Amino acid sequence: MGSGLGAVLFGLAALRTRNIALSIGLHFGWNLIHWALGFKNSTGLWVESVAKGSEHQS
């Protein structure tokens, strides 16, 4: 669903504005948000760490 929704969004933006610049900006923002939230098989902005001795609390 994510790829299809993105394709429709980017396609409509390109058709509506008759320019590809908005589609490129939307795609960059989409990827940046997914990376920041950790959906791109990486930790993104937030890295969890547990202090030694407090494992039972986390």
Domain ranges of the chain: 1-53
pLDDT at residue 18, rounded to an integer: 92
* Higher-pLDDT residue of 13, 55: 13
Q: How far apart are CA 6 and CA 1, in angstroms?
A: 8
Convert the pLDDT of each residue in 8-48 to its tens digit.
988 898 999 999 999 999 889 988 888 887 777 766 677 77
Contact indicator for 44, 36 with CB cutoff of 8 Å? yes
pTM comes to 0.60
